[in-house]
Amino acid sequence: MNTQITVCNERFCAFIMKQLFSVIEYCHTMNVVHRDLKLENLMIKGKDIENGIKVIDFGRSKILKPQSKIKELAGSLYYVAPEVISNQEYDAKCDMWSAGVILCILLTGKPPFLGKSKEETIKLIQKGEVNFDNKEWNNISATAKDLIRKILVVEPDKRLSPHRAVKSKWIIEKTSSSDQEKTNLNLPLINLKAFKVQSMLMKAVLSYITSQKIDNEEDEIIKKFFISIDKNNNGQISKDELIESYIEHGMSSETAMKEANDIISYVDLNQNGNIDYNGNILN
């Protein structure tokens, strides 16, 4: 299965990440640790990325006094920092790890640490080595990779701070271009909408594949998501329904068909050409 999803250009990604780093810095200044940063928790304000982003879902956040530590498992599997998933004491630096994962997903369309099981994924996170030799990184700039290397550091104290990330070479280069380039900045917004739809689908699929436990709140969100695609309410998503949903959110017909074929072929355990989301994924 092709686990990549629609990706956004580096300039667009840089605008998102610059704002995300600034939000993280502000939260940490206020002694707030989010603890569940992920793509689904980023919202674009209006139709223009330069209007800013909103970070939502502070349900797992904590007020953390300076020099204090937390020892409590929180977050989403593919985004969680090594120190958190290893049940060690941790602090606000865990948010920057999650931001680094978000950057990888925006650039390549897939999590940087993705195993064939939950256990394998955890081991990859704990090792913390991004494989830049994989083909999805071929067209990504050296400065973007350098920033990721400085953020996705297993040892928290060596991890780049949000303040330094905002001032990184990649952020500065990609967010300070000419007015002519700025006129094209909003073109990837359509891709981002499709990206987030497919991200939600892949979240459910990958959770099922790796036997990752989904909490009740996430379970309800995913159920509503699948029901919104299931136009005839029969408990199954057909290829045509999936294609229609992708197209509605801005994906091209050709890409929508390819992605729908890939996902259904991987999840269709009953070999009936549909995703049985009641029996296969949501139980």
pLDDT in tens, 148-162: 999 999 999 999 999
Choosing from 112, 144, 176, the residue where a domain stops is: 176
Q: What is the number of domains present in the chain?
A: 2
Residue 131 located in a structural domain:
yes
Residue-wise pLDDT tens digits, 40-79: 888 876 555 566 788 888 989 999 988 899 999 998 888 9
192 lies in the same domain as 252 = yes
State the amino acid at position 91 in one-letter form. Answer: D
Measured CA to CA, the distance from residue 279 to residue 277 in angstroms comes to 6
Phi, psi of 200, rounded to the nearest 5 degrees: -65, -40
Measured CA to CA, the distance from residue 146 to residue 252 in angstroms comes to 32
Least confident of 106-110, 185-189, 234-238: 185-189
Residue-wise pLDDT tens digits, 183-202: 344 434 444 444 455 555 55
36 lies in the same domain as 165 = yes
Residue 236 located in a structural domain:
yes
> Nearest-5° angle of CA 134, CA 136, CA 137?
75
Choosing from 125, 147, 176, the residue where a domain stops is: 176
Match 């939950």 to its residue by tokens. 118
Phi, psi of 32, rounded to the nearest 5 degrees: -105, 130
Residue-wise pLDDT tens digits, 160-182: 999 999 999 999 999 885 533 44
Domain residues for 206? 188-281
Residue 220 located in a structural domain:
yes
Measured CA to CA, the distance from residue 174 to residue 17 in angstroms comes to 11
Cα atoms found within 13 Å of the Cα of residue 193, Cβ hemisphere only: 17
Q: In what helix (H) or strand (E) does residue 103 lie, and over which residues does it extend?
A: helix 94-108
Average pLDDT, the chain: 77
Strand segments (E) across 114-242? 237-238
Measured CA to CA, the distance from residue 115 to residue 122 in angstroms comes to 8
Residue 155 located in a structural domain:
yes
Confidence of residue 248 (pLDDT cuts 50, 70, 90): confident
20 lies in the same domain as 143 = yes
35 lies in the same domain as 147 = yes
Cα atoms found within 13 Å of the Cα of residue 50, Cβ hemisphere only: 11
| Residue 257: CATH number of its domain | 1.10.238.10
| Residue 59: CATH number of its domain | 1.10.510.10
What is each CA distance from 115 to 103, 111, 125, in whole angstroms? 19, 10, 9
Phi, psi of 201, rounded to the nearest 5 degrees: -65, -45
- Number of helical (H) and strand (E) elements in the chain, helices listed first: 12, 6
89 lies in the same domain as 222 = no
167 lies in the same domain as 228 = no
166 lies in the same domain as 121 = yes
* 36 flagged as catalytic: yes
117 lies in the same domain as 238 = no
Answer whether 95's CB lies under 8 Å from 27's CB: yes
Measured CA to CA, the distance from residue 113 to residue 246 in angstroms comes to 25
Confidence of residue 220 (pLDDT cuts 50, 70, 90): low
Choosing from 176, 205, 220, the residue where a domain stops is: 176
49 lies in the same domain as 144 = yes
159 lies in the same domain as 232 = no
Measured CA to CA, the distance from residue 195 to residue 181 in angstroms comes to 22
